[in-house]
């Protein structure tokens, strides 16, 4: 399965088990995220450690998840790889997202 | 088509899952150049964005149509064209301005799509778009150090 979840304390960690978060899977990833949020998950950390490449559609699916939780929950990202970090920098999306070096950092202190 | 001495021409069917094929091909060609790993990642990103656009917008996500990618290489630049025979990109989209600065306090204004062309315009050294007898070609180039 491309996307998996696990619980870490109060957080739901969503692992993207794909090397490419691109247009071919962005819509299914968005639906997966929305299903998590609609089922009551309020604190979500997306683990991007396996993702080596992301395009603007993949980024769009993350923005959609962030928008859906805005104001009522937490939506953070962890372990973004260099090319993925670069995309966040290029699009200034690093201003919008909480980017953490690891899942442990993202859930720390809760 | 890029005017280069070394030219690689590829064709894929209009399915988003096929963009990886051309992404890997362009990475292979990039390995022959002086481009840095960061520049190669960015070139791959630009290619994928334009191929995605052709599939999603020119062909409305319908499989069974050709997308042609030409990668030209010479001593000073790498030139890439992505062509389709579907709906052309409106000029106001090609010429659109950079998106407004993101305001973290206004989630309703956060865009979930429409960043692809801006990314390409930002990263490539030269970008153009032309339509000739039903063939739409997005042409972009990246200067090489030598």
Percent of chain A surpassing pLDDT 90: 86
CB contact under 8 A, A24 and B16: yes
Q: What token pair was written down for A57?
A: 């559609």
Is the pLDDT at A7 greater than 90, yes or no?
Answer: yes
Q: pLDDT tens digits for A57-70? A: 999 999 999 999 98
Cα separation, B44 vs B118, in Å, equals 15
Q: pLDDT tens digits for B9-29? A: 999 999 999 999 999 999 999
In angstroms, what CA-CA distances link B30 with A19, A50, B133? 20, 23, 31
In angstroms, what CA-CA distances link A96 with A75, A86, B127? 10, 14, 29
CB < 8 Å to B38, chain A: 82, 86
The whole-chain average pLDDT of chain A stands at 93
ipTM value for the complex: 0.92
Cβ neighbour number for residue B34 with a 10 Å cutoff: 9
Mutate to test the interface with A, among B38, B45, B100, B105 (most CBs of A within 10 A): B45
Of B3 and B76, the one with more pLDDT? B76
Residue of B nearest to A64 (CA): B112
A96 interfaces chain B, CB cutoff of 8 Å? yes
Of B30, B45, B89, nearest in space to A90 by CA: B45
Range list of β-strands (E), B85-134:
126-132
Q: What token pair was written down for B61?
A: 């996500």
Q: What is the pLDDT of residue A108?
A: 84
Cα separation, B146 vs B138, in Å, equals 26
A55 interfaces chain B, CB cutoff of 8 Å? yes
């Amino acid at each position: 399965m491309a996307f998996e979840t696990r619980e870490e304390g109060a957080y739901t960690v969503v692992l993207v088990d794909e090397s490419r978060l691109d247009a071919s899977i962005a819509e299914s990833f968005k639906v997966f995220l929305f299903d998590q949020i609609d089922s009551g998950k309020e604190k979500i950390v997306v683990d991007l450690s396996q993702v080596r490449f992301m395009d603007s559609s993949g980024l769009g699916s993350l923005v959609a998840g962030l928008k859906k939780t805005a104001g009522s929950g937490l939506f953070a990202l962890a372990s973004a790889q260099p090319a993925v970090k670069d995309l966040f920098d290029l699009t200034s999306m690093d201003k919008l997202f909480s980017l953490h070096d690891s899942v442990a950092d993202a859930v720390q202190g809760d | 088509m890029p005017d280069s001495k070394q030219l690689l021409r590829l064709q894929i069917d209009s399915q988003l899952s096929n963009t990886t094929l051309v992404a890997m091909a362009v990475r292979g060609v990039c390995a022959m150049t002086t481009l840095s790993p960061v520049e190669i990642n960015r070139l791959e990103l630009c290619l994928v964005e334009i191929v995605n656009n052709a599939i999603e917008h020119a062909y409305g996500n319908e499989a069974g149509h050709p997308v042609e990618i030409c990668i030209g290489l010479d001593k000073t630049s790498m030139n890439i064209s992505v062509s389709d025979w579907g709906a052309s990109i409106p000029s106001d989209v090609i010429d659109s301005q950079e998106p407004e600065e993101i305001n973290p306090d206004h989630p309703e204004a956060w865009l979930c799509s429409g960043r692809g062309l801006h990314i390409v315009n930002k990263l490539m050294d030269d970008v153009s778009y032309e339509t000739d007898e039903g063939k739409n070609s997005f042409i972009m180039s990246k200067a090489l150090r030598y």
